[in-house]
Amino acid sequence: MKKSIVIAAALGIAALFAGSAYAQSSAQVQFPDYQFTTVKANPITPIKNQASSGTCWAYSTIAFLESEIIRINKITDEARYPDLSVFWIVSHSYSERAEKYIRLDGNLTFGAGSEADDVLHVIRDHGIVPLKEMTGMNYGTELPKQAELDAILNAYVSAVAKNPNRTLTTAWKRGFDAILNEYLGKRPETFTVDGKSYDPISYRDALKLNVDDYVSLSSFTHHPFYTWFPLEVCDNWRWDSVYNVPIDELMKVLDDAIMNGYTAAWGADVSDPGFTRTGLAIFVDVPATAAAGSDQEHWVGREEGRPAPVAIVEKKASQEQRQQDFDNKTMTDDHGMQIFGIARDQFGKKYYMVRNSWGVTGKFYGIWYATEDFVKGQTLDIVLHKDALPKDLRKKIGK
Protein backbone atom coordinates (compact mmCIF):
# COMPACT_ATOMS: atom_id res chain seq x y z
CA MET A 1 0.00 0.00 0.00
CA LYS A 2 1.83 3.05 -1.22
CA LYS A 3 -0.58 5.42 -2.93
CA SER A 4 -1.45 7.10 0.35
CA ILE A 5 1.29 9.65 -0.30
CA VAL A 6 -0.59 10.83 -3.38
CA ILE A 7 -4.12 10.72 -2.05
CA ALA A 8 -4.52 14.32 -3.00
CA ALA A 9 -6.72 12.51 -5.54
CA ALA A 10 -9.15 11.98 -2.70
CA LEU A 11 -9.94 15.67 -2.50
CA GLY A 12 -13.57 15.02 -1.77
CA ILE A 13 -16.78 14.87 -3.67
CA ALA A 14 -17.00 18.62 -4.27
CA ALA A 15 -13.88 18.72 -6.41
CA LEU A 16 -15.00 15.65 -8.32
CA PHE A 17 -18.34 17.13 -9.26
CA ALA A 18 -16.90 20.55 -9.98
CA GLY A 19 -14.88 19.02 -12.80
CA SER A 20 -17.57 16.73 -14.20
CA ALA A 21 -19.91 17.09 -17.12
CA TYR A 22 -22.93 17.10 -14.82
CA ALA A 23 -21.37 19.50 -12.32
CA GLN A 24 -22.97 22.01 -10.09
CA SER A 25 -20.82 24.61 -8.36
CA SER A 26 -18.47 23.16 -5.77
CA ALA A 27 -20.11 25.36 -3.15
CA GLN A 28 -23.35 23.47 -3.67
CA VAL A 29 -21.83 20.03 -3.34
CA GLN A 30 -21.58 19.33 0.37
CA PHE A 31 -21.74 16.37 2.65
CA PRO A 32 -24.30 16.65 5.43
CA ASP A 33 -23.03 17.92 8.75
CA TYR A 34 -22.66 14.44 10.17
CA GLN A 35 -22.84 13.88 13.89
CA PHE A 36 -21.64 10.52 15.13
CA THR A 37 -22.49 8.49 18.21
CA THR A 38 -20.06 5.77 19.19
CA VAL A 39 -21.49 2.27 19.49
CA LYS A 40 -18.19 0.59 20.35
CA ALA A 41 -14.65 1.97 20.32
CA ASN A 42 -11.65 -0.12 21.32
CA PRO A 43 -8.45 1.47 22.61
CA ILE A 44 -5.99 2.97 20.15
CA THR A 45 -2.70 4.77 20.63
CA PRO A 46 -2.19 8.41 19.58
CA ILE A 47 -2.50 9.30 15.89
CA LYS A 48 0.78 9.39 13.95
CA ASN A 49 1.69 11.17 10.71
CA GLN A 50 3.39 9.22 7.93
CA ALA A 51 3.76 12.52 6.04
CA SER A 52 5.70 12.11 2.76
CA SER A 53 6.36 8.40 3.04
CA GLY A 54 4.72 5.37 1.49
CA THR A 55 4.74 3.49 4.78
CA CYS A 56 1.03 3.42 5.66
CA TRP A 57 1.26 -0.38 5.80
CA ALA A 58 3.76 -0.14 8.67
CA TYR A 59 1.98 2.69 10.49
CA SER A 60 -1.39 0.95 10.36
CA THR A 61 -0.14 -2.49 11.37
CA ILE A 62 1.98 -1.13 14.20
CA ALA A 63 -1.08 0.82 15.40
CA PHE A 64 -3.10 -2.40 15.25
CA LEU A 65 -0.44 -4.32 17.19
CA GLU A 66 -0.21 -1.56 19.80
CA SER A 67 -3.95 -1.99 20.38
CA GLU A 68 -3.36 -5.71 20.62
CA ILE A 69 -0.68 -5.20 23.27
CA ILE A 70 -3.10 -2.99 25.22
CA ARG A 71 -5.80 -5.67 24.97
CA ILE A 72 -3.59 -8.67 25.74
CA ASN A 73 -1.87 -7.02 28.70
CA LYS A 74 -5.07 -5.33 29.96
CA ILE A 75 -3.39 -1.91 30.04
CA THR A 76 -5.76 0.76 31.32
CA ASP A 77 -3.32 3.59 31.97
CA GLU A 78 -2.85 5.54 28.71
CA ALA A 79 0.54 6.71 29.97
CA ARG A 80 1.67 3.09 29.69
CA TYR A 81 0.41 2.49 26.16
CA PRO A 82 3.11 1.07 23.88
CA ASP A 83 4.78 3.34 21.33
CA LEU A 84 6.60 1.16 18.81
CA SER A 85 9.05 2.03 16.05
CA VAL A 86 7.58 2.02 12.55
CA PHE A 87 10.97 2.53 10.93
CA TRP A 88 12.50 -0.48 12.66
CA ILE A 89 10.00 -2.37 10.53
CA VAL A 90 10.64 -0.31 7.39
CA SER A 91 14.42 -0.68 7.65
CA HIS A 92 14.30 -4.47 7.96
CA SER A 93 11.66 -4.72 5.24
CA TYR A 94 13.69 -2.70 2.77
CA SER A 95 16.81 -4.74 3.51
CA GLU A 96 15.09 -8.08 3.00
CA ARG A 97 13.24 -6.84 -0.07
CA ALA A 98 16.55 -5.82 -1.62
CA GLU A 99 17.89 -9.35 -1.21
CA LYS A 100 14.82 -10.83 -2.89
CA TYR A 101 14.96 -8.23 -5.67
CA ILE A 102 18.55 -9.20 -6.46
CA ARG A 103 17.80 -12.94 -6.30
CA LEU A 104 15.03 -12.36 -8.86
CA ASP A 105 17.31 -10.27 -11.12
CA GLY A 106 15.17 -7.20 -10.58
CA ASN A 107 11.90 -8.90 -11.47
CA LEU A 108 10.12 -7.69 -8.33
CA THR A 109 8.38 -4.45 -7.45
CA PHE A 110 10.77 -2.39 -5.35
CA GLY A 111 9.53 0.61 -3.40
CA ALA A 112 8.24 1.90 -0.11
CA GLY A 113 4.88 0.12 -0.32
CA SER A 114 4.18 -3.19 1.37
CA GLU A 115 1.40 -4.87 3.36
CA ALA A 116 0.45 -5.89 6.87
CA ASP A 117 1.95 -9.37 6.85
CA ASP A 118 5.35 -7.83 6.14
CA VAL A 119 5.23 -6.26 9.62
CA LEU A 120 4.46 -9.64 11.16
CA HIS A 121 7.43 -11.20 9.35
CA VAL A 122 9.83 -8.56 10.66
CA ILE A 123 8.60 -8.86 14.24
CA ARG A 124 8.72 -12.65 14.10
CA ASP A 125 12.31 -12.68 12.81
CA HIS A 126 13.80 -9.57 14.41
CA GLY A 127 11.57 -8.46 17.29
CA ILE A 128 10.49 -4.86 17.86
CA VAL A 129 11.81 -1.75 19.61
CA PRO A 130 10.22 1.36 21.14
CA LEU A 131 9.84 4.42 18.93
CA LYS A 132 12.29 6.45 21.00
CA GLU A 133 15.01 3.89 20.20
CA MET A 134 14.58 4.28 16.42
CA THR A 135 12.54 7.24 15.22
CA GLY A 136 13.62 6.89 11.59
CA MET A 137 14.20 10.64 11.42
CA ASN A 138 17.94 10.70 10.79
CA TYR A 139 17.96 13.04 7.79
CA GLY A 140 17.04 16.46 9.07
CA THR A 141 13.26 16.75 8.83
CA GLU A 142 10.66 16.73 11.58
CA LEU A 143 8.29 14.36 9.76
CA PRO A 144 9.00 11.53 7.31
CA LYS A 145 10.10 12.78 3.92
CA GLN A 146 11.21 9.70 2.10
CA ALA A 147 11.32 10.48 -1.64
CA GLU A 148 15.10 10.94 -1.68
CA LEU A 149 15.72 7.71 0.21
CA ASP A 150 13.30 5.78 -1.99
CA ALA A 151 14.94 7.05 -5.16
CA ILE A 152 18.45 6.24 -3.93
CA LEU A 153 17.58 2.73 -2.80
CA ASN A 154 15.73 2.00 -6.04
CA ALA A 155 18.66 3.19 -8.14
CA TYR A 156 21.09 1.21 -5.99
CA VAL A 157 19.37 -2.16 -6.29
CA SER A 158 18.66 -1.57 -9.99
CA ALA A 159 22.36 -1.04 -10.58
CA VAL A 160 23.28 -4.15 -8.60
CA ALA A 161 20.71 -6.25 -10.47
CA LYS A 162 22.23 -5.12 -13.77
CA ASN A 163 25.78 -5.92 -12.63
CA PRO A 164 27.70 -6.98 -15.75
CA ASN A 165 29.92 -9.28 -13.71
CA ARG A 166 28.78 -12.85 -13.29
CA THR A 167 29.46 -12.77 -9.57
CA LEU A 168 28.17 -10.10 -7.21
CA THR A 169 30.60 -8.45 -4.85
CA THR A 170 30.45 -9.02 -1.11
CA ALA A 171 29.98 -5.28 -0.62
CA TRP A 172 26.61 -4.51 -2.19
CA LYS A 173 24.47 -5.56 0.79
CA ARG A 174 26.68 -3.73 3.29
CA GLY A 175 26.43 -0.63 1.13
CA PHE A 176 22.65 -0.90 0.94
CA ASP A 177 22.27 -1.29 4.69
CA ALA A 178 24.67 1.61 5.25
CA ILE A 179 22.29 3.87 3.31
CA LEU A 180 19.40 2.70 5.48
CA ASN A 181 21.43 3.38 8.61
CA GLU A 182 22.25 6.93 7.52
CA TYR A 183 18.67 7.83 6.67
CA LEU A 184 16.65 5.85 9.21
CA GLY A 185 19.23 5.35 11.95
CA LYS A 186 21.07 2.25 13.10
CA ARG A 187 18.97 -0.57 14.47
CA PRO A 188 19.46 -0.76 18.25
CA GLU A 189 20.74 -4.02 19.65
CA THR A 190 19.88 -3.34 23.30
CA PHE A 191 17.91 -0.68 25.14
CA THR A 192 16.29 0.03 28.49
CA VAL A 193 12.58 0.37 29.21
CA ASP A 194 11.37 1.20 32.74
CA GLY A 195 14.80 0.39 34.12
CA LYS A 196 14.98 -3.05 32.51
CA SER A 197 17.37 -4.04 29.73
CA TYR A 198 15.98 -5.64 26.55
CA ASP A 199 16.98 -6.66 23.09
CA PRO A 200 14.38 -6.54 20.27
CA ILE A 201 13.38 -10.20 20.70
CA SER A 202 13.05 -10.09 24.48
CA TYR A 203 11.08 -6.85 24.25
CA ARG A 204 8.66 -8.44 21.79
CA ASP A 205 8.19 -11.36 24.15
CA ALA A 206 7.74 -9.09 27.17
CA LEU A 207 4.89 -7.41 25.29
CA LYS A 208 3.31 -10.88 24.84
CA LEU A 209 3.21 -10.33 21.10
CA ASN A 210 2.98 -13.62 19.20
CA VAL A 211 2.64 -12.78 15.52
CA ASP A 212 1.69 -16.37 14.67
CA ASP A 213 -1.66 -15.65 16.33
CA TYR A 214 -2.78 -13.36 13.49
CA VAL A 215 -4.80 -14.18 10.38
CA SER A 216 -5.29 -12.27 7.12
CA LEU A 217 -8.75 -12.52 5.54
CA SER A 218 -9.91 -11.47 2.08
CA SER A 219 -12.85 -12.07 -0.23
CA PHE A 220 -12.60 -12.64 -3.98
CA THR A 221 -14.16 -15.16 -6.33
CA HIS A 222 -11.18 -15.80 -8.61
CA HIS A 223 -10.02 -18.26 -5.94
CA PRO A 224 -12.20 -20.80 -4.09
CA PHE A 225 -13.64 -19.74 -0.76
CA TYR A 226 -12.13 -21.31 2.36
CA THR A 227 -8.71 -21.63 0.78
CA TRP A 228 -5.48 -19.65 1.06
CA PHE A 229 -4.12 -17.64 -1.85
CA PRO A 230 -1.41 -15.00 -2.30
CA LEU A 231 -3.16 -11.68 -2.86
CA GLU A 232 -2.10 -10.54 -6.32
CA VAL A 233 -0.96 -6.98 -5.67
CA CYS A 234 2.52 -5.63 -6.35
CA ASP A 235 3.14 -4.56 -2.77
CA ASN A 236 2.73 -8.15 -1.59
CA TRP A 237 6.37 -8.73 -2.39
CA ARG A 238 6.74 -11.56 0.14
CA TRP A 239 3.84 -13.36 -1.61
CA ASP A 240 1.96 -13.79 1.66
CA SER A 241 -1.38 -15.59 1.53
CA VAL A 242 -4.81 -14.50 2.72
CA TYR A 243 -7.67 -16.77 3.69
CA ASN A 244 -10.61 -16.34 1.32
CA VAL A 245 -14.16 -16.07 2.72
CA PRO A 246 -17.44 -14.70 1.31
CA ILE A 247 -17.69 -10.95 1.83
CA ASP A 248 -20.80 -11.13 4.03
CA GLU A 249 -18.98 -13.55 6.31
CA LEU A 250 -15.92 -11.30 6.42
CA MET A 251 -18.09 -8.36 7.44
CA LYS A 252 -19.79 -10.36 10.19
CA VAL A 253 -16.41 -11.52 11.48
CA LEU A 254 -15.24 -7.90 11.56
CA ASP A 255 -18.38 -6.72 13.37
CA ASP A 256 -18.19 -9.45 15.98
CA ALA A 257 -14.49 -8.82 16.51
CA ILE A 258 -15.01 -5.11 17.16
CA MET A 259 -17.91 -5.70 19.53
CA ASN A 260 -15.80 -8.23 21.43
CA GLY A 261 -12.92 -5.82 21.98
CA TYR A 262 -10.65 -6.41 18.97
CA THR A 263 -9.39 -4.07 16.28
CA ALA A 264 -8.28 -4.91 12.72
CA ALA A 265 -5.51 -3.88 10.37
CA TRP A 266 -7.28 -2.82 7.18
CA GLY A 267 -5.95 -2.80 3.63
CA ALA A 268 -8.23 -0.77 1.36
CA ASP A 269 -8.68 1.29 -1.77
CA VAL A 270 -9.07 4.97 -0.90
CA SER A 271 -8.98 6.34 -4.45
CA ASP A 272 -12.78 6.23 -4.51
CA PRO A 273 -14.12 9.81 -4.63
CA GLY A 274 -16.12 9.20 -1.47
CA PHE A 275 -12.94 8.92 0.62
CA THR A 276 -12.49 12.53 1.60
CA ARG A 277 -9.75 14.50 3.29
CA THR A 278 -12.17 15.60 5.98
CA GLY A 279 -12.77 12.25 7.67
CA LEU A 280 -15.54 10.53 5.71
CA ALA A 281 -15.49 7.40 3.55
CA ILE A 282 -18.75 6.88 1.65
CA PHE A 283 -19.16 4.49 -1.27
CA VAL A 284 -20.57 7.27 -3.37
CA ASP A 285 -22.59 6.69 -6.53
CA VAL A 286 -21.31 9.67 -8.53
CA PRO A 287 -23.97 9.89 -11.29
CA ALA A 288 -26.85 9.26 -8.89
CA THR A 289 -25.50 11.80 -6.43
CA ALA A 290 -25.09 14.46 -9.11
CA ALA A 291 -28.65 13.83 -10.32
CA ALA A 292 -30.12 14.01 -6.84
CA GLY A 293 -30.12 17.80 -6.72
CA SER A 294 -31.18 19.28 -3.44
CA ASP A 295 -33.51 16.52 -2.29
CA GLN A 296 -31.29 16.13 0.75
CA GLU A 297 -32.84 19.17 2.40
CA HIS A 298 -35.19 16.88 4.31
CA TRP A 299 -32.11 15.21 5.84
CA VAL A 300 -30.31 18.20 7.30
CA GLY A 301 -32.52 21.22 6.66
CA ARG A 302 -31.28 24.35 4.99
CA GLU A 303 -29.75 27.34 6.69
CA GLU A 304 -30.79 30.73 5.40
CA GLY A 305 -28.42 31.93 2.71
CA ARG A 306 -26.74 28.54 2.41
CA PRO A 307 -27.03 26.58 -0.86
CA ALA A 308 -28.93 23.33 -0.56
CA PRO A 309 -26.48 20.40 -0.45
CA VAL A 310 -26.50 17.62 -3.00
CA ALA A 311 -27.89 14.32 -1.72
CA ILE A 312 -25.16 11.74 -1.24
CA VAL A 313 -26.26 8.48 -2.84
CA GLU A 314 -24.31 5.33 -2.01
CA LYS A 315 -23.65 2.34 -4.20
CA LYS A 316 -24.47 -1.08 -2.82
CA ALA A 317 -21.37 -3.16 -2.32
CA SER A 318 -21.50 -6.82 -3.32
CA GLN A 319 -19.33 -9.84 -3.98
CA GLU A 320 -19.79 -9.32 -7.72
CA GLN A 321 -18.94 -5.61 -7.55
CA ARG A 322 -15.77 -6.34 -5.57
CA GLN A 323 -14.55 -8.88 -8.09
CA GLN A 324 -15.29 -6.68 -11.05
CA ASP A 325 -13.53 -3.72 -9.46
CA PHE A 326 -10.50 -5.84 -8.55
CA ASP A 327 -10.30 -7.36 -12.02
CA ASN A 328 -10.57 -4.05 -13.86
CA LYS A 329 -8.22 -2.26 -11.44
CA THR A 330 -10.88 0.08 -10.10
CA MET A 331 -10.09 -1.32 -6.66
CA THR A 332 -6.36 -1.35 -6.04
CA ASP A 333 -3.98 -1.69 -3.11
CA ASP A 334 -3.95 1.92 -1.94
CA HIS A 335 -3.75 2.42 1.80
CA GLY A 336 -3.43 0.71 5.16
CA MET A 337 -5.42 1.86 8.21
CA GLN A 338 -6.81 0.46 11.46
CA ILE A 339 -10.50 -0.22 12.09
CA PHE A 340 -11.21 0.08 15.81
CA GLY A 341 -14.88 0.84 16.34
CA ILE A 342 -18.46 1.21 15.14
CA ALA A 343 -20.58 4.36 15.21
CA ARG A 344 -23.90 5.66 13.87
CA ASP A 345 -24.75 9.03 12.41
CA GLN A 346 -27.78 11.13 13.36
CA PHE A 347 -29.82 9.26 10.78
CA GLY A 348 -29.01 5.86 12.29
CA LYS A 349 -26.60 4.80 9.53
CA LYS A 350 -23.73 2.52 10.54
CA TYR A 351 -20.07 3.50 10.14
CA TYR A 352 -16.73 1.97 11.01
CA MET A 353 -14.32 4.10 13.03
CA VAL A 354 -10.95 4.16 11.29
CA ARG A 355 -7.62 5.38 12.61
CA ASN A 356 -5.59 6.94 9.79
CA SER A 357 -1.91 7.92 9.66
CA TRP A 358 -2.19 11.39 8.15
CA GLY A 359 -1.75 13.19 11.43
CA VAL A 360 -4.33 14.84 13.68
CA THR A 361 -6.25 16.29 10.75
CA GLY A 362 -9.72 16.61 9.29
CA LYS A 363 -12.98 17.24 11.08
CA PHE A 364 -12.49 14.24 13.36
CA TYR A 365 -8.82 14.78 14.25
CA GLY A 366 -7.26 11.89 12.38
CA ILE A 367 -10.25 9.52 12.64
CA TRP A 368 -12.28 8.57 9.57
CA TYR A 369 -15.87 7.32 9.54
CA ALA A 370 -16.40 4.72 6.80
CA THR A 371 -19.83 3.43 5.83
CA GLU A 372 -20.58 -0.26 5.81
CA ASP A 373 -20.82 -0.28 2.02
CA PHE A 374 -17.48 1.48 1.69
CA VAL A 375 -15.72 -1.10 3.85
CA LYS A 376 -17.58 -3.97 2.20
CA GLY A 377 -16.83 -2.69 -1.29
CA GLN A 378 -13.27 -1.41 -0.91
CA THR A 379 -11.54 -3.85 1.44
CA LEU A 380 -8.54 -5.74 0.10
CA ASP A 381 -7.88 -7.59 3.33
CA ILE A 382 -8.08 -7.40 7.11
CA VAL A 383 -5.82 -8.84 9.80
CA LEU A 384 -7.29 -10.08 13.07
CA HIS A 385 -6.17 -12.03 16.11
CA LYS A 386 -7.22 -15.66 15.80
CA ASP A 387 -9.26 -15.39 19.01
CA ALA A 388 -11.49 -12.84 17.27
CA LEU A 389 -12.63 -15.47 14.76
CA PRO A 390 -15.69 -17.69 15.23
CA LYS A 391 -14.87 -21.27 16.18
CA ASP A 392 -16.01 -22.78 12.89
CA LEU A 393 -13.81 -20.44 10.86
CA ARG A 394 -10.82 -21.03 13.12
CA LYS A 395 -11.27 -24.75 12.59
CA LYS A 396 -11.31 -24.32 8.80
CA ILE A 397 -8.22 -22.14 8.93
CA GLY A 398 -6.42 -24.45 11.32
CA LYS A 399 -5.86 -21.81 14.02
Give the number of domains in the chain: 1
What pLDDT does 397 receive? 96
Q: How far apart are alpha carbons 350 and 216 in whole angstroms?
A: 24
What pLDDT does 164 receive? 82
Per-residue pLDDT of the chain (399 residues; tens, 9 = 90+): 654 433 333 334 444 433 333 233 333 335 678 999 999 999 999 999 999 999 999 999 999 999 999 999 999 999 999 999 999 999 999 999 999 999 999 999 999 999 999 999 999 999 999 999 999 999 999 999 999 999 999 999 999 999 887 799 999 999 999 999 999 999 999 999 999 999 999 999 999 999 999 999 999 999 999 999 999 999 999 999 999 999 999 999 999 999 999 999 999 999 988 999 889 999 998 887 777 654 444 444 444 555 445 568 899 999 999 999 999 999 999 999 999 999 999 999 999 999 999 999 999 999 999 999 999 999 999 999 999 999 999 999 998
Q: How far apart are alpha carbons 389 and 100 in whole angstroms?
A: 33
Q: How far apart are alpha carbons 296 and 301 in whole angstroms?
A: 8
Q: How far apart are alpha carbons 190 and 129 in whole angstroms?
A: 9
pTM: 0.90
Specify which residues 381 forms β-bridges with. Answer: 267
Query: Other C-beta atoms within 10 Å of 202: how many?
Result: 13
What pLDDT does 254 receive? 98
**Residue 59, domain extent:** 3-397
Phi and psi at residue 41, to the nearest 5°? -135, 120
Q: How far apart are alpha carbons 74 and 62 in whole angstroms?
A: 18
Q: Is the distance from CB of 99 to CB of 156 less than 8 angstroms?
A: no
Query: Other C-beta atoms within 10 Å of 19: how many?
Result: 10
Q: How far apart are alpha carbons 312 and 326 in whole angstroms?
A: 24
Q: Is the distance from CB of 328 to CB of 343 less than 8 angstroms?
A: no
Going by their DSSP bridges, the two strands 367-371 and 350-355 should be labelled as antiparallel
What pLDDT does 311 receive? 67
Shortest CA distance to 160 belongs to which of 99, 90, 92? 99
What pLDDT does 293 receive? 54
Length of the chain: 399
At residue 41, the 3 state secondary structure works out as strand
The CATH number for 64's domain is: 3.90.70.10
Q: Is the distance from CB of 282 to CB of 274 less than 8 angstroms?
A: yes
